[in-house]
């Protein structure tokens, strides 16, 4: 247990702060869920402490192990698509031991691991189209299965992870332009052939806040009211009217940031944002100091994923982006996202423990 002293406790401290903020908000709005979130909190830190005890450098060159993780993630997505029940309009959660596990969360982990290995070896020649195409193939299968669920928020996160790796790996501007063009073509295809009407309405509602105020824009309007009425110090524990009276939908998941601000004000919201930024900056610091490219790129992938979650979640709470059901890392209720995030943090803590000075 001596290795626990080597962990980056500044990083752990930021995570603990967000976890406690989550418990505080859930205790006010849904005490039953607060107890479950506490369970995920305990299990999550157990994962962090356990995974940090492994030297992941030995796995970085083990292609069979890394590709096995990727194939297992694909298998889980296939099983989910074929057998998972429909919950809230999508088939994303697989029942495991009486609990619902969102298999696309493990797919994000698999993408970060496989891309960290791939780009660590191919970053010098990444400008070659064959390497870009090969990296894109790793994305096609999980994203395709997630789109079929359909879960466009997770698909967008996966695409962002791939594109983020490309941007920092020396990609040429002409290739960035080509990738952007492919994205636009892909989006046009999704709009005409894949997206459901309610998903289109959410996107259109972003550009017209007055559109369907009792329907597509209802959640965003209530979120803005919750944030705008909070003041600097907030209304206090259990006193948020939008939350307590049930006006704010998904106050424990998609809109927990707005729910927390309503009761704890701009001060509480700022504290949550600063804690999140502390986590991101600490991961960047660890990545810079890592003694191998695999470790550096794992940190990069986690930062990309966390930032995408943060921007999309907070942006939707503020009415700046469409509501696509993306959780706030370590703050939103949910075991799947929390446990996979803990697994990634454990790998990063392992980099700290086994770093060669």
42: which residues sit within 8 A by CB, 6+ positions away?
Answer: none
Q: Partners of 100 in the beta sheet?
A: 95
- Write down the residue that tokens 């939350």 correspond to: 243
| Digitized pLDDT (tens) for each residue of the chain, 357 residues in all | 666 778 888 999 999 999 999 999 999 988 889 999 999 999 999 999 999 888 777 777 778 888 999 999 999 999 998 888 877 777 888 887 767 889 999 999 999 999 998 888 766 556 567 777 888 889 999 998 998 887 888 988 999 999 888 887 766 666 667 667 776 777 677 666 666 666 666 566 555 555 555 556 778 888 888 898 888 888 988 888 888 888 888 888 889 999 999 999 999 999 999 999 999 999 999 999 888 888 899 999 999 999 999 999 999 898 888 777 889 999 999 889 999 999 999 999 998 887 753
Beta bridge partners of 99: 96
3-state percent helix, strand, coil for the chain, nearest multiple of 5:
70, 5, 25
For residues 26 and 333, the answer to whether their CB atoms sit within 8 Å is yes
Instruction: Give residue limits of the domains in the chain.
Output: 2-353
State the pTM of this model. Answer: 0.90
Question: Three-state DSSP class for 55?
Answer: coil
For 199, 202, 221, 249, 285, the CA distances from 210, given in Å and listed in that order, are 17, 12, 9, 18, 43
> E-strand spans in the chain?
93-96, 99-102
CA–CA–CA angle 270, 275, 277 (5° rounding): 95
- For residue 150, say if its preceding peptide bond is cis, omega within 30 degrees of 0: yes
**CB under 8 A, 24+ apart: contacts of 298-301:** 298/56, 298/112, 298/113, 298/116, 298/344, 298/347, 298/348, 298/351, 299/348, 299/351, 300/116, 300/164, 300/165, 300/168, 301/111, 301/112, 301/115, 301/116, 301/161, 301/164, 301/165
pLDDT of residue 120: 83
State the Cα–Cα distance between residues 81 and 89, nearest whole angstrom: 13
Q: Is 114 helix (H, G, I), strand (E, B) or coil?
A: helix
């Amino acid at each position: 247990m001596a290795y626990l002293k080597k962990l980056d406790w500044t990083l752990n401290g930021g995570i603990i702060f967000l976890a406690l903020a989550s418990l505080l908000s859930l205790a006010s709005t849904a005490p039953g869920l607060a107890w479950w979130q506490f369970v995920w909190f305990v299990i999550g830190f157990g994962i962090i402490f356990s995974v940090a005890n492994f030297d992941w450098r030995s796995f970085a060159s083990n292609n069979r192990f890394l590709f096995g993780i990727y194939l297992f993630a694909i298998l889980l997505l296939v099983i989910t698509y074929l057998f998972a029940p429909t919950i809230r309009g999508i088939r994303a959660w697989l029942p495991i031991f009486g609990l619902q596990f969102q298999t696309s969360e493990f797919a994000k982990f698999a993408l970060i691991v496989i891309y960290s290995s791939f780009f660590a070896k191919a970053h010098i020649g990444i400008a070659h189209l064959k390497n870009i195409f090969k990296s894109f193939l790793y994305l096609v299968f999980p994203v395709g299965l997630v789109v079929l669920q359909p879960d466009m928020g997770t698909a967008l996160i996966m695409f962002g992870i791939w594109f983020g790796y490309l941007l920092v790996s020396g990609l040429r501007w002409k290739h960035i332009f080509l990738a952007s063009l492919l994205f636009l073509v892909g989006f046009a295809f999704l709009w005409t052939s894949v997206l459901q009407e309610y998903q289109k309405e959410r996107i259109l509602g972003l550009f017209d806040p007055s559109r369907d105020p009792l329907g597509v824009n209802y959640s965003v309007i209530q979120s803005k009211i919750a944030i705008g009425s909070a003041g600097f110090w907030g209304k206090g524990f259990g006193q948020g009217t939008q939350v307590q009276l049930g006006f704010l939908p998904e106050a424990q998941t998609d809109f927990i940031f707005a729910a927390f601000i309503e009761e704890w004000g701009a001060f509480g919201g700022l504290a949550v944002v600063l804690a999140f930024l502390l986590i991101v900056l600490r991961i960047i610091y660890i990545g810079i100091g890592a003694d191998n490219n695999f470790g550096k790129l794992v940190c990069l992938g986690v930062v990309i994923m966390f930032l995408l979650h943060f921007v999309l979640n907070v942006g939707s709470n503020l009415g700046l982006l469409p509501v696509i059901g993306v959780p706030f890392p370590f703050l939103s209720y949910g075991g799947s996202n929390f446990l996979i995030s803990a697994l990634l943090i454990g790998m990063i803590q392992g980099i700290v423990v086994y770093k060669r000075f």
